[in-house]
Amino acid sequence: LFVEQALNHHAQRLPELLPSQFVTHYDMQAALRYVHQPPANANIFELIEGKHPAQQRLIFEELVAHQISLLTRRYYIQSIAAPVISPSKQIASQLVAQLPFQPTNAQVRVSAEILADLKQNKPMLRLVQGDVGA
């Protein structure tokens, strides 16, 4: 009952966020209505598995909205001033010399990228990922 009231009174106020070339079968209002009030002849198996085009349309919009929020957050973080750190090459060389292994080319490259990022006056947004050797 509440979903029906919400759809009847407020669905038309929802903005269409996706460009028209991405909205092929269901606009926002139609997709919400189909998912929350499927017709009697609806393919229940598609709905249960989340494969109905109305669901896919809502899923796509949610992914786009999430991506936009991440990009907005990244832009905001990059606008914040951060202290510039300029480690000396001597200290970096001493650190590498004390490692119990020879860094790979990829590790050397990433280390150089990190040092370059530290010299910027904006926060570093970096995730370093790699395999741990035996």
Tens digit of each residue's pLDDT (9 = 90 or more) over 42-69: 999 999 999 999 999 999 989 999 999 9
- The owner of tokens 């947004």 is 125
Burial classification of residue 57, based on how many CB atoms lie within 10 Å of its CB (0-12 exposed, 13-18 middle, 19 or more buried): buried
Range 95-120 average pLDDT: 90
Record the pTM: 0.65
**CB atoms inside a 10 Å sphere around CB 34:** 20
Q: Read off the pLDDT of residues 81-104 as tens digits, 9 standing for 90 and up.
A: 999 998 888 888 898 899 998 998
Tokens 């910027």 identify what position?
A: 120
More confident call, 98 vs 129: 98
8 Å CB contact between 23 and 54: no
How confident is the model over 7-43, as pLDDT tens digits? 888 878 887 878 877 777 788 888 999 999 999 999 9
Q: Quote the pLDDT of residue 134.
A: 46
pLDDT reading at 132 higher than 70: no
Per-residue pLDDT, 22:
77
* Residue-level pLDDT at 29: 86
C-alpha–C-alpha distance, residues 9 and 80, integer Å:
41
**Residues near 15 by Cβ (< 8 Å), separated by ≥ 6?**
28
Give the C-alpha separation, 19 to 34, whole Å.
20
Domain range summary for the chain, segments of one domain joined by +: 2-79, 81-134
For residue 77, give the nearest of 125, 15, 130, 25 by alpha carbon.
125
